[in-house]
């Protein structure tokens, strides 16, 4: 199991992560924009937004992030607020699916689920929620290489 920090922005992810890369060094292990998806359902002015970026900091930590779209914020009744754009991301291997479900179910009790834990297009089961104390979490259990 690995804990990482996940940052959301609204159109500033690429600039922010290039800055973080200049500070921490290294190369992105993953960088994908919404335009890389053939069927992206996103507003024209958001087509160049970052879908996901990962910057390894050391052998145990990655700084990750993405741009939130207006549509995503509207669907989840969670407006983007600069300064409240941070998640704790728990990343598990395919062999830990039961643990991913246990953690999601336990941590989200009395909280608000943004995305239920379910299979995704990037080959994982994933879910996001705010716990009862206002802490934002993501659970990502990679099922296949992507």
Q: What is the mean pLDDT of residues 11-20?
A: 91
The structure's pTM equals 0.73
pLDDT at 73 over 60: no
Domains of the chain, start order? 9-82 (3.30.720), 85-146 (3.10.180.10)
Token pair of 114, please? Answer: 């943004």
pLDDT value for 131? 87
Token pair of 132, please? Answer: 């009862």
Q: What is the mean pLDDT of the chain?
A: 86
pLDDT value for 62? 92
Long-range contacts of 119-127 (CB under 8 A, 24+ apart): 119/143, 122/52, 122/146, 125/97, 125/100, 125/101
pLDDT at 71 over 70: no
Q: In this structure, are residues 129 and 106 in contact, taking their beta carbons and an 8 Å threshold?
A: no
The tens digit of pLDDT for each residue in 85-142 reads 788 989 999 999 999 999 999 999 999 999 999 999 889 999 999 888 778 899 999 9
pLDDT at 10 over 90: no
Q: CB neighbours (10 Å) of residue 6?
A: 22
pLDDT at 56 over 90: yes
| CA dist., res. 2 & res. 127, Å (int) | 16
pLDDT at 8 over 90: no
Token pair of 118, please? Answer: 């379910």
Q: Between 11 and 77, where is the model more confident?
A: 11
Cβ neighbours of residue 80 closer than 8 Å, sequence gap 6 or more: 8, 10, 68, 73
């Amino acid at each position: 199991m690995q804990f990482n920090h996940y940052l959301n922005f609204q159109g500033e992810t690429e600039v922010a992560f290039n800055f973080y890369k200049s500070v921490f060094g290294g190369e992105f292990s993953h960088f994908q924009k919404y335009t890389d998806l053939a069927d992206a359902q996103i507003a024209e002015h958001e087509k160049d937004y970052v879908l996901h970026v990962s910057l390894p900091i050391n052998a145990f930590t990655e700084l990750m992030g993405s741009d939130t779209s207006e549509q995503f914020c509207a669907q989840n009744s969670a407006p983007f607020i600069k300064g409240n754009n941070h998640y704790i991301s728990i990343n598990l291997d395919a062999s830990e699916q039961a643990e991913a479900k246990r953690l999601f179910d336990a941590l989200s009790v009395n909280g608000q689920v943004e995305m239920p834990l379910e299979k995704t297009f990037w080959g994982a089961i994933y879910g996001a929620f705010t716990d009862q104390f206002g802490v934002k979490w993501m659970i990502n259990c990679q099922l296949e290489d992507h």
